[in-house]
Structure 1
Amino acid sequence: MANLFSVFDPSTSIMNLNMNWISTFLGLMIMPYYFWIIPSRFNMFWNKVLNTLHQEFKTLLGSTKNLTSTLFFITLFTFIVFNNFLGLFPYIFTSSSHLTMTLSMSLPLWLTFMLFGWINNTQHMFAHLVPQGTPAILMPFMVCIETISNIIRPGTLAVRLAANMIAGHLLITLLSSTGPSLSHQVISILIITQILLMTLECAVAVIQSYVFAILSTLYSSEVN
């Protein structure tokens, strides 16, 4: 199993410096060029996606005072979806399938939301610990349950993204490793299966990015 999972953590180093995480910054060499290109179908499609996300995040945040706050969550979505798609290419390190990467995004987000909520809206945060209509005898248990569910939020965000990304890659690796020992008829079925799995992984890359961004937006709306 150690050899199997080592596929997702290749040792790429120059002068004893780990170069794996440079894949996260490859977008800096690609994305700026779109600002100097005549608008294409891809640009119009991406602008439509961003406008749709802006409308959804604006509705979830429920605040009309600062609509630019949706820009942060749109940027978060773009960053994650880019890294997810980048991991689908051969020989490119998948940074979003590692807890180091996902926790470094979810933990600071959760900490800032909690600090902002407890400092500025303390009474509102206490009210969230006891849902409306809870019987008095169940209130201590509900406070414990709500506190635990609040504390594990960054972990669930990070594990959800990392587990979903590594699961599909692991399945593709397992199926491809059986190729040399199969007959020609079975290999054709295997290739079709791999194509379907890659299509599924493309969908998962977008869905998990959207889920991460939308849950972060919901957590932000709860502290206001």
Structure 2
Amino acid sequence: MMTNLFSVFDPSSSIFNFSLNWMSTFLGFLFLPYIYWASSSRWSLLWSKLIETLHKEFKSLLQPSHVGSTLLFVSLFSFIVFNNFLGLLPYVFTSSSHMVFTFSLSLPLWLTLMLFGWINHTKNMFAHLIPQGTPVVLMPFMVLIETISNVIRPGTLAIRLAANMIAGHLLLTLLSSTGPSLSLSILSILIFSQILLLILESAVAIIQSYVFAVLSTLYTSEIN
């Protein structure tokens, strides 16, 4: 009987029928106390510099009335990037490769922005449905297209993050499963390719966290 290829990503560790895999989602919080040390390490200084750079970039993308929201998006980036990197460690459950995790991040954020926009800036939200300079004949179609593109935003955010994270892990799993049947010379090539893929996945972990946070920032900047 053929096993499901994606079953390797399913939670498996449990105590008294309580899954412990999702507890790895909160392991990132264990790294936060390092920034309060009396003498900061190089990694702590690097992380502080990265957070400061992200804060300045998000601040430039947001409207002046939403500048205080940079704390939310920097925290969102930190939370996702910690989970992405922890998922690269052996025997650590990759929560960011599941739609349950990614959709629970994108949907509440999108709903909050929509409720805030339609309640406080109703006229501007209606104006966003029709781009400036649109012919009168095309206005109904533009309203339909803009509405659909707005509604699918939380789904695209969630699918983009989950698909990119699961693709690399799936490729690593497929290649590693062929290792026992290979000769020593081919096995060395496989190990080298696995190392390159791991470096690529590390870059993807940062890039996808950044993309998720930046797109959320851009969606927020449209609420004015």
TM superposition score category, shorter chain reference: over 0.9
The normalised TM-score by structure 1 is 0.96
User: 2: distance between equivalents of 1:66 and 1:129?
Assistant: 21
1:9 has 2:13 as partner: no
Gaps of 5+ in 1: none
User: 1: distance between equivalents of 2:37 and 2:68?
Assistant: 24
The normalised TM-score by structure 2 is 0.96
The 3-state SS of whatever aligns with 1:189 is helix
Amino acid of the structure 2 residue aligned with 1:47: S
Gaps of 5+ in 2: none
Trace 1:145-164 onto structure 2 (pairs within 5 A). Answer: 145-164=145-164
* 1:40, distance to aligned residue in structure 2 (A): 1.8
Identical-residue share of aligned pairs (%): 70
Deviations 1:25-76 (A, max 9, x none): 112333223312411211211111111101110010031x553320110000
* 1:3, distance to aligned residue in structure 2 (A): 3.1
* 1:137, distance to aligned residue in structure 2 (A): 0.4
What corresponds to 1:78 in structure 2?
Answer: 78
* 1:19, distance to aligned residue in structure 2 (A): 1.2
Runs of 4+ in 1 over 6 A off after TM superposition: none
Q: Is the 8 A contact 2:66 2:221 kept in 1?
A: no
* 1:195, distance to aligned residue in structure 2 (A): 0.4
What corresponds to 2:63 in structure 1?
Answer: 62
User: 2: distance between equivalents of 1:23 and 1:182?
Assistant: 33
RMSD: 1.2
Trace 1:41-190 onto structure 2 (pairs within 5 A). Answer: 41-63=42-64, 65=65, 67-190=67-190
User: 2: distance between equivalents of 1:31 and 1:44?
Assistant: 13
User: 1: distance between equivalents of 2:132 and 2:140?
Assistant: 14
1:212 has 2:209 as partner: no
1:20 has 2:17 as partner: no
Corresponding pairs, count: 223
